Amino acid sequence: MDLGLSGKRAIVLGIANHRSIAWAIAQALAAEGMQLCLTYQERMEDAVRQLAAKVDAPLVLPCDVQRDEEIDAVFQTIEREWGTLDVLVHSLAFAPREALAGDFLNTSREAFQTALDISAYSLVAVSRPAAPLMERAGAGSILTMTYLGSERAMPGYNVMGVAKAALEACVRYLAASLGPRNIRVNAISPGPMQTLAARGIQGFQGMHRHASEVSALRRVNDPDEIGALAAFLASHHARGTTGEVHYMDCGYRFLGI
């Protein structure tokens, strides 16, 4: 199926290394012929530049989502270089390590604020400057990554579950805000995947094993299938869906026992 993305432009935030979900999505969008802007957090620059070369990304820019000046600079560069933007992929999250272990009751105010700022508010912060560029393109698709820990209490996931619940609410409010401008906002919810961020969650290996044993498909996600869903949601074929969380978890969420 031709997704009609060829020649269109996307920004992908959240690549740390070759295991990142953002990288799988960037590859899927590049395979559809999209031009990419990839952003990185300072310490990830070398890895991201090496990966960017593999997909011929013309723009590779720093963007720490806690720094408003870096967000502004990214979208000013896109406006100057491209003038329009079709797709934004937000695939990033962070909580202090100590908040992703032990008893949720002990979550500090500081860890709570950091997790919510980076993992949820940042979607609003990057959608705002992206919107006029998408409006100019005639349509836009904004995607973010969430997890079932938003609606179920998962051991160790703790404050990140709260952040994902806020992120999913942001998806709905942004979709309501941007829908009249023909900009869609959706989240993808995969099962556990072996990435850098996931390794910071206490008990993650157990969650991963459990999901692979009991999910209906008896496996966990491979990154390519997340890339494929992202490319579909980015495309005109998904033009009627917005404000939704799209589960692609190999059949885990719907199970009872």
Q: Which stretch binds ligand NAD (CB under 6 A): 104-112, 123-131, 175-183, 186-194?
A: 186-194
* 157 is an active site residue: yes
Both structure tokens of 118? 């980076």
Least gap, CB of 4 to ligand NAD (angstroms): 26
The answer to whether 93 contacts ligand NAD (rule: CB under 6 A) is yes
- The single residue of 147, 173, 247, 252 carrying the catalytic annotation is 147
Binding mask 26-65 for ligand NAD (x = CB under 6 A): ---------------x--x------------------xxx
Q: Which stretch binds ligand NAD (CB under 6 A): 17-25, 96-104, 171-179, 239-247?
A: 17-25
Q: Residue 74 class from Cβ within 10 Å (0-12 exposed, 13-18 middle, 19+ buried)?
A: buried
* 247 is an active site residue: no
The answer to whether 139 contacts ligand NAD (rule: CB under 6 A) is no
Both structure tokens of 41? 């957090």
> Which of 3, 5, 12, 15 lies at the binding interface for ligand NAD (CB under 6 A)?
15
DSSP for 92-155?
-----GGGGSS-GGG--HHHHHHHHIIIIIHHHHHHHHHHHHHHHHT-EEEEEE--GGGTS--T
Q: Residue 68 class from Cβ within 10 Å (0-12 exposed, 13-18 middle, 19+ buried)?
A: exposed
Name residues contacting ligand NAD, limited to 103-132 (CB under 6 A).
118
Catalytic residues: 147, 157
